[in-house]
């Protein structure tokens, strides 16, 4: 990431003594409700990385169908490798050891623009987006404003 920075996020170690914990800043993608936001998150890598995926949790408040109310990100590439017992994901959509911090964060940015409604982590956000879009937009706008003040 230092050699070839990618637009839309920055990432680095929380503490130089711990290579397993990264702090991330995701910039709300243009032309989305999240545009202008600066959302802080933590990537926690397991000791058996890259065989197992990291966990990603937003510490900034963010209202999104695929981010639960505690900030945990729910996207396919962060799910353990193998078959999905509920049948929503194909094995190739799940974690593979070739994924990097860059591919994870690009997937998160894509998710902000295009939520997956098949298996929402935040059912209330998914329902609000479908049934009361104007209220959903207000809630997201409030999160964007707060992220700019952090």
User: Would you please indicate which residues are annotated as catalytic (active-site) residues?
Assistant: 74
| Helix H or strand E segment including 139 | helix 133-149
Rounded to whole angstroms, the Cα distance separating 85 from 88 reads 8
The pair phi, psi for residue 126, each rounded to 5°, is -65, -45
**E strand residue ranges, the chain:** 9-15, 18-27, 38-44, 55-58
The angle subtended at Cα 108 by Cα 104 and Cα 113, nearest 5°, is 150
Rounded to whole angstroms, the Cα distance separating 5 from 126 reads 32
Give the full edge-to-edge strand order of the sheet including 9-15. Answer: 9-15, 18-27, 38-44, 55-58
């Amino acid at each position: 990431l230092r050699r070839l920075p990618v637009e839309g996020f920055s990432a680095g170690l929380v503490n130089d003594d711990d290579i397993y914990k990264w702090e991330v800043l995701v910039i709300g993608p243009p032309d989305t409700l999240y545009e202008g936001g600066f959302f802080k998150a933590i990537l926690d890598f397991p000791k058996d990385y890259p065989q197992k995926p990291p966990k990603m949790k937003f510490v900034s408040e963010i209202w999104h169908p695929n981010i639960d109310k505690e900030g945990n990100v729910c996207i396919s590439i962060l799910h353990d490798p193998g078959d999905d017992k509920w049948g929503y994901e194909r094995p190739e959509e799940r974690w593979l050891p070739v994924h990097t911090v860059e591919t994870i964060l690009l997937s998160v940015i894509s998710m902000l623009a295009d939520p997956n409604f098949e298996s929402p982590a935040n059912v209330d956000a998914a329902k609000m987006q479908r049934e009361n879009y104007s209220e959903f937009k207000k809630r997201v706008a409030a999160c964007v404003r707060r992220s700019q003040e952090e």
